[in-house]
Amino acid sequence: MRFADIPFHAKEKQRLIDMVDNGMVPHALLIQGPEGAGKLSLARAYVQYLHCTSRVNGEPCGQCPACLQHESFNHIDTHFTFPVIKREGGRPTLSDDYISEFRDFLSTGVFSSFERWQSMLKQEKQALIYVDEATEVLRFAGFTSHASQNKVVIIWLPERFHESTANKLLKLIEEPNDNVKIVMVSNNPQGILPTVYSRLQRVEIPRYTEEEVSSWLSGRQSVEEDAARAVARLSAGNMSAALDLVSTSGENDTRLATFISLMRLAYLRKVIDLRAWANDLAALGREQVIGFFNYASRMLRENYIYALMDPRLNCMTDKEETFSRNFSPYVNERNVEELMQVFDHASRDVAGNVSAKIVCFDTAVKVILLLTR
């Protein structure tokens, strides 16, 4: 991974390059910022640059043995730690158990998302970093380096540490081993254990602007300019979300159809039909249900804003706007806050392994009560 592969962020890239060039590599570094900003790729480029033996103009050479190993995700002195699904039968739960899937995940492009990784695991359980992985990291850190001066642990999403994991790694962060570097990548630094967070040197990666997203999509992804601008508005600076919108426009249409069906059936108070609607939605699987609830929350927000009649404030597709012209009057100051809370709470309940069928039907009933206020 080269720094040039990641668009924009020139100031942040230069800061990472200067750390290596000036011999000021921190023992524990946190690259933090919103999802879809290219942070994991920046971490990979930084570590490859650190290990490269023939750096060229602020970039890893791409040809030395270290670079070739990094390009194939097989560098012997680099260990990846990331959220995984707990193994059954009391067996240790390690990132290395899923390293093949993670390599495939990294190979999909510069921008990553936890939702995409969770879907690649093909299980409904929430992925976490368990204490067994902390033991593995300590074991890795205890060995001498083989091919490079520095051994590096790249930890993706430390906010998904099990509490016991964070506590077990705390000593390694407080009392570093010689020539062992830790690079963490976080979408939600507030979720990191404070005693860990306070010991990390931090690099903040900003959200992309709409102009940056639009120009990158039209220039690098060959998306038509009008479509790129619309996607840039909808993605709110999240490049992963922008790419998902480009590649899964059909999925967005499906969620819109599901949303329209819910609102029409709720308005007509067709409880029996809503139970069937709830069962159909739940059958899609936990992650799809969560995705729909998040989508519904966004649509409610957009419909409330739509009444202001200022198109600069709205981020909707043409199909969404067509529906919203007639639907938006039903989302108003009397019900918008409670409606959004219904969907936000439903998303959290399903993520917490509450029965999706029960949550979907309960949500539909609450929409009936709120929609006609």
Q: How many CB atoms lie within 10 A of CB 352?
A: 9
Instruction: Examine the pLDDT at 315 and tell me if it is beyond 80.
Output: no
CATH number of the domain that residue 298 is part of: 1.20.272
The encoded tokens of residue 65 equal 């043995």
How many C-beta atoms lie closer than 10 Å to residue 353's C-beta? 11
Helix count and strand count (H, E) for the chain: 17, 5
235 and 254 assigned to the same domain: no
User: Could you give the CA distance from residue 142 to residue 128 in angstroms, rounded to a whole number?
Assistant: 24
Q: What's the confidence (pLDDT) of residue 320? A: 87
Q: Angle 192-196-197 (CA atoms, 0-180°, nearest 5)?
A: 60
Write out pLDDT tens, residues 324-341. 999 999 999 999 999 999
264 vs 127: CA distance, rounded Å: 35
- Domain ranges, residue 128: 3-204
Mean of pLDDT over the chain: 91
| pLDDT for 311 | 61
Comparison of pLDDT for 205 and 171, the residue scoring more: 205
| Residue 101 CB neighbour total at 10 angstroms | 15
Q: Which of 148, 178, 204 is the last residue of a domain?
A: 204
Number of domains in the chain: 3
Contact (Cβ atoms closer than 8 angstroms) between residue 324 and residue 330: no
Residue 90: pLDDT above 80?
no
Residue 87's identity, in one-letter code, is R
Q: What global pTM score does this model have?
A: 0.74
233 and 129 housed in the same domain: no
* Section 302-324 average pLDDT: 80
pLDDT at 313 > cutoff 80: no
| Closest C-alpha to 271, from 361, 370, 186 | 361
CA dist., res. 30 & res. 175, Å (int): 17
User: Which pLDDT score, from 0 to 100, does residue 230 have?
Assistant: 78
3-state secondary structure of 84: strand
Residue at 195: amino acid letter:
T
User: Does 45 score more than 80 pLDDT?
Assistant: yes
pLDDT at residue 233 is higher than 90 = no
50-54 average pLDDT score: 97
Note whether 263 and 365 are same-domain residues: yes
Residues 151 and 225 in one domain: no
Cα separation, 297 vs 15, in Å, equals: 38
Least confident of 27-31, 251-255, 294-298, 346-350: 251-255
Give pLDDT tens digits for 180-194. Answer: 999 999 999 999 999
Q: Give the mean pLDDT of 122-146.
A: 89
Residues 81 and 100 grouped into a single domain: yes
Shared domain check, 367 and 291: yes
More confident call, 73 vs 222: 73
Q: Say how far apart CA 353 and CA 257 lie, in whole Å.
A: 25
Residue 101, SS3?
Answer: helix
**Integer Cα distance of 5 and 73 in angstroms:** 16
Burial readout 197-228 (b: 16 or more C-beta within 10 A, e: otherwise): beebeebebebbebebbbbbbbeeeebeeebb
Better pLDDT: 266 or 227: 266
* pLDDT of 249 strictly over 70: no
Give the pLDDT score at 312.
Answer: 65
Q: What's the confidence (pLDDT) of residue 356?
A: 94
**193 and 312, same domain (yes or no):** no
Q: Are residues 22 and 118 in the same domain?
A: yes
**Is the per-residue pLDDT at 96 higher than 90?**
yes
pLDDT class of 220 with cuts at 50, 70, 90 = confident
